[in-house]
Structure 1
């Protein structure tokens, strides 16, 4: 059924349907972080090689990013609810396989299937919200709750993972996905209406191959460059990805029935919104990586306690997401989005002053200010993306936004992580005496985790001295990355304010 936008207000059934749509996005968000907690236990049990471990971690994000555009367009064709239910089956089955994996290869395949299933969920849920909530104010509120669910998943993932790992085996972190996907599969036909494009035109498999190949190549180049440095493999992959992307765009411009409508980027608001989505996820993923390491390795908290403290920025993100639609009634949308980016900049600047003695208050304050801005900006930003396209093309439009987010996450970890690790290694090279045995110096120079592990085997006072130097080096990298991000986000806030200064509440 294709439905045009009207001023019809949502019913109680629509709001119940929204609850059904928020639950799976919470799970997808959880799965992005939960494996990091289980990693030490998984590696001890399955004994993967270093290369297998990296692929087990990365394959989920690779396929999620690579398939978003294709899945968004596919949902417009076969029905967004239908695609969502197919994704629920794939995600649930893959979770079951991951739970009981007995080899690295089995877990790798399961994680790949989780990425494929996850790629169906984000564009389907967001585009269904576009079709279910026609009133602009209600739609913003619905998107705010969706955004809060995504932020909540990222926050409660470590908490739930910590609880499960304290009582069960490592595979249990995937087990929670299964009952949630069963509920989605049963409840969606009852509470979520079906929507699809009634005249999608001929399907173009060549465009699908180009879209997937381009995204996978670009994401691989970013991640490989962050882990191994910019070598021939990263350069070739980046060039190939950009070339394939250019061919894809040219084909979409000439096709009678394109996979995505690239003319959307001619609208200044839409282009700015995709860039904003890139920036907010850039900030969120980059600093989530630093924050978890700071809490566990510098402050010395356990995984569960660290996860509980990270609920503070999650609550701030949810508050920003819920408050933004209300503010948009009296303040221009573009101003609020720019204000959200400015809030991110202020949060980054606060974290630039974190040190070994400042403890939790300054870090959590900075993270809370940062995530409040992310919640506010993301909510209204998603509304701009969804209303830029016709209702029957909302799936492809939301997929473009989510693709920007996935790239933002990959680039955030790559750039901010590289800044942090480069400063850390430089400081440690200067601090570790030249006569230190290689079996101690090498792992300590690489990561703060390696330094902490080595310190456990050293006598005092050498252990305390190594830990203090490693903490100081890590914090130097963290604060430099924070300061650089603060400048980037402040400049972006001004730019977005200029581009979207006339953007008001959506009316489509």
Structure 2
């Protein structure tokens, strides 16, 4: 090879590498990523305040958290495909405008029902945001090394936002009402609306298929009943109608797949799932997020209602884990260039398993140090695994289908967020009720509130006061911690399953 040929090859490679404008666009695209991921977990810390103010039932309490990711999961594939057709930046701007407006309405919801409705509407606009950010990164960063680093930043912000939610929520709740956790969307999204048209280039599929309303309806008919069935099964057990909803979702899913396979230009190219790397990375994403969100669901309540920390102090207790999550997501980038993902991802997830096992032994008010260390270990594993798996998902898909691939990736994330709360949260709620032994002489309304949630028990204890109130608080804390121990071991099992899937399916990935 001549010197001129080598020089031309280097110039051709450098021509695909972005300059300062591309990195500035990355910063702008991180704003909705950070906001939406914060929104997934900020309510974990705001939930005690909401429970005391709006007095939701245990089912409503779970719905306040899950209405948003439920709708989001049902619409992600649709919005990702629409972004491929009409423009990913356009969908991003529409989603940002709607998300900010509805968040402001949610801040002033007078009851649990309206708050749940606002959270569901936020899910509609949130579904426009997330596939757009990841697919725009795919179109901006065409160089593989730069794209790997950009996705590491994206994944770190997603993971960091999930962990930052309790911290932001703690600071806001220390000085303002619970509605402030929704109002924070406005100042975050205004810079996006100003800067995105300037810095972020528009991109779309050059040969989009036609809009298929039937496929859109089938995709929603698949996701929403399945996620709802999981929630019902977790909260009400096998005696509920969960199995019927699950069957409905499976039938719609079969019809959706059948239609995509027969369509000349399908809404979602099902051939993507034949790629073992693509499918394996999706499952790793899903199970990792289940572990992260499930952990934050119970640790937020434990720190505030058992250990007795204020929301702000409880949020800052998770800062070391947040830092570990961000750092591991960036540190793993050069490692992933040299070590196969089938080794990197399971090795990273081993840290998360260790964190969950540590939580199983963290009981009582003196458990603060162990919980902080457990979250650090969990964060190391989740941050690294999410970075590698997200990059593999995008690298496995054709560039023109970046929106659809991103939407599938985001669907796995949001489904994991729902499962983390619904399954692990539902198991914890069931174990709390089974282990709760209330003292005699308790008024009926106080006993009912204490039997619903830990926050209800603490509120009842504060109202009763005296030795009886202390007995109620101690009984609730003991029942909650007993449930946390078992739930943590289940979470560890799910992370182990993710590590096994990574070892078996990511072996064919190449640098």
Contact 2:282 2:412 in 1 (8 A): yes
Q: Confirm or deny that 1:18 pairs with 2:26.
A: yes
Q: Confirm or deny that 1:75 pairs with 2:83.
A: yes
Contact 1:6 1:134 in 2 (8 A): no
Local SS of the residue matching 2:241: helix
Per-residue deviation, 1:50: 7.9
Matches within 5 A, 1:129-208: 129-208=137-216
Greater Cα offset, 367-376 or 175-184: 175-184
CA distance in 1, matches of 2:101, 2:384: 34
Give CA-to-partner distance per residue, 1:217-241, whole Å, 9 cap, x none: 1112122332333444322211111
Give CA-to-partner distance per residue, 1:368-416, whole Å, 9 cap, x none: 1112111100011011111111101011011111111222222222222
C-alpha spacing 1:379/1:228, structure 2 compared with 1 (3 Å): same
Per-residue deviation, 1:107: 4.5
Per-residue deviation, 1:275: 0.6
Given the alignment, which residue of 489, 494, 498 partners 2:495? Answer: 489
Matches within 5 A, 1:160-309: 160-309=168-317
Local SS of the residue matching 2:303: helix
Contact 1:252 1:262 in 2 (8 A): yes
Greater Cα offset, 349-358 or 248-257: 349-358
* Paired position in structure 1 for 2:104: 96
Contact 1:147 1:379 in 2 (8 A): yes
Q: Confirm or deny that 1:384 pairs with 2:389.
A: no
Q: With structure 1 as the length reference, what TM-score do the two structures score?
A: 0.91
Give CA-to-partner distance per residue, 1:11-70, whole Å, 9 cap, x none: 111011000000111111122233454456667777878877665543322211110000
Given the alignment, which residue of 348, 354, 358 partners 2:356? Answer: 348
Per-residue deviation, 1:103: 6.6
Give CA-to-partner distance per residue, 1:158-211, whole Å, 9 cap, x none: 333333334344433322212322211121121111111111122211000100
Give CA-to-partner distance per residue, 1:250-308, whole Å, 9 cap, x none: 11111101111111111111110111011101101111011101101111001111111
Contact 2:89 2:200 in 1 (8 A): yes
CA distance in 2, matches of 1:374, 1:491: 14
Given the alignment, which residue of 367, 373, 380 partners 1:359? Answer: 367
C-alpha spacing 1:383/1:479, structure 2 compared with 1 (3 Å): same
Per-residue deviation, 1:215: 0.9
Given the alignment, which residue of 328, 340, 343 partners 1:335? Answer: 343
C-alpha spacing 1:464/1:165, structure 2 compared with 1 (3 Å): closer
CA distance in 1, matches of 2:463, 2:107: 33
C-alpha spacing 1:454/1:50, structure 2 compared with 1 (3 Å): closer
Local SS of the residue matching 1:32: helix
Question: Gapped runs of 5+ residues in structure 2?
Answer: 1-11
Per-residue deviation, 1:458: 4.2
CA distance in 2, matches of 1:457, 1:96: 32
How many residue pairs align between the two structures?
A: 500
CA distance in 1, matches of 2:296, 2:402: 30
Contact 1:152 1:318 in 2 (8 A): yes
Q: Confirm or deny that 1:414 pairs with 2:430.
A: no
Given the alignment, which residue of 488, 504, 509 partners 1:503? Answer: 509
Contact 1:97 1:106 in 2 (8 A): no
C-alpha spacing 1:362/1:28, structure 2 compared with 1 (3 Å): same
Contact 2:304 2:311 in 1 (8 A): yes
CA distance in 1, matches of 2:112, 2:494: 39
Q: With structure 2 as the length reference, what TM-score do the two structures score?
A: 0.90
Given the alignment, which residue of 444, 447, 450 partners 2:456? Answer: 450
CA distance in 1, matches of 2:263, 2:221: 19
Question: Gapped runs of 5+ residues in structure 1?
Answer: none
Give CA-to-partner distance per residue, 1:418-471, whole Å, 9 cap, x none: 33223322222xx44577554444433443323322322445444334333322
CA distance in 1, matches of 2:478, 2:15: 57
Local SS of the residue matching 1:379: helix
Per-residue deviation, 1:108: 4.7
Local SS of the residue matching 2:458: helix
